[in-house]
Amino acid sequence: MKQEIEMEFKNLLTQEEFNRLKHFFFIRDDQFVYQENHYFDTPEFSLKGQGAALRIRVKNDTYTLTLKQTIEQGLLETHEALTKEKAQSILNNPAMMEGEMKSLLKDMGIAAEQLQHFGTLATHRAQVPYEGGMLVLDHSCYLQTEDYELEFEVNDWEQGKNSFEKLLASFRIPYRPSTNKIKRLYAKKYGVEDQS
């Protein structure tokens, strides 16, 4: 397992704004990479209640189990690489989760046996370096819904915030707070609002 702190700024986009940014940054259609995020929680949304999220991401034939936990500025991400077979077994039966991730969840008061696979969100993603960070364009599809999003992943919160606000202003893109993908999926599927 490995851990990292993720700091990012996010903004929902219209399709027109998405295309404008794509063309400005010379991003070709073949630069977008397809990925699937499979999300888990308990029926009582115990992870959500603790400001956490759990997913398996499938991307370029790799499978990664990730626990995201809210911290003061950003998210603490814990990653565990999985084989295709192990990922499939967890998707079919989350109780098959084992090892350090299972222990980490147990420390949060959550048993793997309580978890359910709640849904899948697919994203076409492209990224380009920008002002010391990584600019990310996402086109996501889930539950007969499509949305477009701009993310800016940074190492310095204040500098990143300033660069992101300037970028939005220069393209005359209004600030539209964007919740995490799992929150949008849950809101659409279950009417669950205010997810952490």
Contact status, residue 8 vs residue 151, Cβ threshold 8 Å: yes
Please tell me which residue, 196 or 11, carries the higher pLDDT value. Answer: 11
- Classified as helix, coil or strand, 150 is strand
Each as own residue / partner, the long-range contacts of residues 84-90 (CB below 8 Å, 24 or more positions apart, any chain) are 87/56, 87/58, 87/63, 90/56, 90/65
C-alpha distance from residue 134 to each of 126, 164, 169 (Å): 10, 11, 18
The alpha carbon dihedral of 170, 173, 176, 181 has a sign of negative
Provide the pLDDT for residue 194.
47
pLDDT tens string 12-62: 999 999 999 999 999 999 999 999 999 999 999 999 999 999 999 999 999
What is the average pLDDT across 86-93?
Answer: 96
106, containing H or E segment: helix 99-107
Q: Which residues of 84-103 are buried (b: 16+ CB within 10 A; e: fewer)?
A: eebbebbbeebeebeeebbe
Provide the pLDDT for residue 4.
87
User: Is pLDDT at 195 greater than 50 in this prediction?
Assistant: no
Q: How far apart are CA 128 and CA 99, in angstroms?
A: 35
User: Is pLDDT at 193 greater than 90 in this prediction?
Assistant: no
> In which band, very low, low, confident or very high, does the pLDDT at 90 lie, cut at 50, 70 and 90?
very high
User: Is pLDDT at 103 greater than 90 in this prediction?
Assistant: yes
Provide the pLDDT for residue 35.
97
User: Is pLDDT at 133 greater than 60 in this prediction?
Assistant: yes
User: Is pLDDT at 128 greater than 80 in this prediction?
Assistant: yes
The token pair that represents 186 in the structure block: 């849950």
Q: How far apart are CA 40 and CA 67, in angstroms?
A: 10
> In which band, very low, low, confident or very high, does the pLDDT at 187 lie, cut at 50, 70 and 90?
confident
User: Is pLDDT at 190 greater than 80 in this prediction?
Assistant: no
Above pLDDT 70, what percent of the chain? Answer: 97
Query: DSSP state, 173?
Result: P
> In which band, very low, low, confident or very high, does the pLDDT at 74 lie, cut at 50, 70 and 90?
confident
Q: How far apart are CA 180 and CA 71, in angstroms?
A: 14
Q: How far apart are CA 173 and CA 161, in angstroms?
A: 15
